């Protein structure tokens, strides 16, 4: 497989820098670029990162890889100020902290543009119902309609068919088993790109399945246990004032 950096026409997206940060929240050049990409694409692979407050989670980042006829044409990513603190668990997982999103735009500026821009595209993700639900919860808070789920592909379903006896179907574990990647960065755009790589690899298998040996099953189980333990440790972190 070709390295994705060679396939993607990278579109660098950033806010206009100036000495007065007050205008940063009120203007969002990313919106115009998002609209341009969505008009050229027929598919988006997207991922979100959230605050980790499961009872009232908020989106803190959206990342999307835009495709046309199966070929990447551009990337889009945006941090969001959720108006609430990010949990220690989420900070540990994504690397995004409160300081990083302090001057970023609120959901009310980003979410309507994103939903309206991708509404007519095929939507692809990994365990994508989580991301769609997160978006629709944000939309509901804003009093607007959410994303329609009529044209959605969830790559985790393809993974379950391609790796029928895997003890784990996390994106990280599936990527390792497919020899696509051995790390998961847990930033939204990185995960969207990794999802694309896994999807392409499984599509190239032409419906063939990979049956893991008992040794491989044991290795995946042990690796998954370590990941869970690391996450549990992250959840127990206490912020020192």
**Token pair of 137 as six digits:** 């919860």
Residue 31 has pLDDT above 90, yes or no: no
Distance CA 33, CA 75 (A): 10
Q: What is the CA radius of gyration of the chain?
A: 18
pLDDT (average), residues 68-74: 97
Domains and CATH numbers, the chain: 30-153 (3.30.420.10), 158-237 (no CATH)
- Rounded to 10°, the helix 107-118/128-141 angle is 120
pLDDT tens column, 199-238 = 999 999 999 999 999 999 999 999 888 777 766 665 554 3
**Residue 223: predicted pLDDT:** 86
Chain-wide mean pLDDT for the chain?
85
User: Percentage of residues in the chain with pLDDT exceeding 90?
Assistant: 71
pTM: 0.84
The secondary structure of the chain, three-state, reads CCCHHHHCCCCCCCCCCCCCCHHHHHCCHHHHHHHHHHHHCCEEEEEEEECCCCCCCCEEEEEEEEEECCEEEEEEEEECECCCCCCHHHHHHHCCCHHHHCCCCEHHHHHHHHHHHHCCCEEEECCHHHHHHHHHHHHHHCCCCCCCCCCEEEHHHHHHHHCCCCCCCCHHHHHHHCCCCCCCCCCHHHHHHHHHHHHHHHHHCCCCCCCCCHHHHHHHHHHHHHHHHHHHHHHCCCCCC
């Amino acid at each position: 497989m070709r390295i994705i950096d060679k396939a993607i026409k990278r579109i660098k997206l950033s806010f206009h820098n100036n000495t007065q940060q007050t205008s940063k929240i009120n203007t969002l050049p990313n919106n115009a670029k998002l609209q341009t990409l969505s008009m050229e694409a027929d598919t988006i692979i997207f991922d979100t990162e959230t605050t980790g407050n499961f009872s009232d989670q908020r989106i803190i980042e959206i990342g999307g890889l835009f495709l046309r006829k199966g070929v990447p044409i551009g990337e889009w990513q945006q941090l969001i100020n959720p108006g609430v603190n990010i949990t220690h668990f989420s900070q540990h997982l994504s690397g995004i902290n409160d300081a990083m999103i302090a001057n970023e735009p609120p959901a009310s500026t980003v979410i309507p543009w994103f939903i309206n821009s991708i509404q007519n595209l095929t939507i692809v993700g990994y365990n994508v119902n989580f991301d769609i639900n997160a978006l629709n919860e944000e939309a509901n808070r804003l009093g607007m309609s959410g994303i329609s789920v009529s044209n959605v592909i969830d790559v985790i379903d393809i993974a379950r068919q391609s790796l029928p006896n895997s003890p784990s179907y996390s994106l990280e574990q599936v990527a390792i088993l497919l020899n696509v990647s051995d790390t998961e960065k847990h930033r939204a755009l990185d995960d969207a790109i990794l999802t694309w790589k896994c999807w392409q690899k499984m599509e190239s298998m032409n419906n063939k399945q990979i049956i893991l040996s008992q040794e491989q099953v044991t290795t995946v189980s042990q690796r998954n246990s370590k990941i869970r333990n690391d996450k549990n440790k992250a959840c127990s972190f206490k912020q020192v004032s």
